[in-house]
Amino acid sequence: MKWQLLHAAHITKSLMQDDGQAQTVIVMPSTDADQASRAAQQLASRATDCPAMILVVMDDEGEGFTDIANRVYRATHSDYFGYVAQDAYAGRRWLSLALQTLTQQHKGLLGFNDGKWGGALAAFGLGQRSWLDHNYDGDLFYHGYTQHYADTELTMLAIGNAQYGYNPNAVLVEVDWGKDAKAVQPFDRLLYAQRKLGWIKEHVTHPACLELFS
């Protein structure tokens, strides 16, 4: 696995030549270059057996995690695509175990063991592009979210259509010391509540899963 840091303005110019023939691309939107670089180095050191690329993208203009991830998704063509944050810390063989699980379970999305959600939510996730491509007209996430719930909605699409995989040994822990004290973005919470009763419900075959998160 390799990793590279670039600025958001350079996404359309250089991604195709830089991700090369990587089977897997992981996007890490970032606001702190030092923290993200340390995280990317650590993740890469524990995935040396995988032909993959971590793209650390500096969010210089405040686009937000969702928009950066969507832009990188559209600019790449890897078979597998994942998303992590700059506060991720990887367990050994985190990526190979995740890829193996997706393949063996024939799932579209895998949620990593982040030490918080017990596999119920893909806060950090890895998906098969063949499945991801069909959810949002070529985007990874629904574009309306500003900060939260984009991963929740994607997870519900996967669970509600029997496309969600999990391996507790595929570990990507979120190391955010102040996480529990941070408030959820009210706009995103309201948007998810509205979409849960409308668009999401219409696009899952097992709507009972929508009661997992509010």
Residue-wise pLDDT for 139-167, tens only, equals: 999 999 988 999 999 999 999 999 999 99
State the Cα torsion 91-95-101-103 to the nearest 10°.
-170
Q: What is the pLDDT of residue 201?
A: 95
Mean pLDDT of 178-202: 85
The Cα 30–Cα 125 span in angstroms is: 16
Q: What is the pLDDT of residue 72?
A: 96
Q: What is the pTM of this model?
A: 0.93
The Cα 57–Cα 59 span in angstroms is: 6
State yes or no: pLDDT of 13 exceeds 90: no
Sheet holding 109-113, edge to edge: 2-7, 52-58, 24-30, 80-83, 125-128, 109-113, 164-174, 88-90
State yes or no: pLDDT of 16 exceeds 60: no
Q: Where do the domains of the chain lie, and which CATH numbers do they carry?
A: 2-211 (3.90.550.10)
How far from 183 is each of 18, 150, 189, 196, CA to CA, in Å? 37, 16, 11, 20
The Cα 200–Cα 193 span in angstroms is: 10
> Which residues, in sequence order, are CB contacts of 55 under 8 Å at separation 6+?
3, 4, 6, 15, 18, 19, 25, 26, 27, 28, 72, 76
3-class DSSP assignment, residue 131? helix
Do 81 and 132 meet the contact criterion of CB atoms below 8 Å apart? yes
Q: What is the pLDDT of residue 58?
A: 98
Q: What is the pLDDT of residue 214?
A: 73
pLDDT tens-digit series, residues 90-122:
999 999 999 999 999 999 999 999 998 888 999
Q: What is the pLDDT of residue 12?
A: 81
The Cα 155–Cα 213 span in angstroms is: 10
pLDDT tens-digit series, residues 22-32:
899 999 999 99
> Which residues, in sequence order, are CB contacts of 71 under 8 Å at separation 6+?
8, 11, 12, 63
**Paired tokens of 81:** 């695509």
Amino acid in position 166? Y
Write down the mean pLDDT value for the chain: 92
Task: Name the most confidently modeled range: 5-14, 70-79, 170-179.
Answer: 70-79
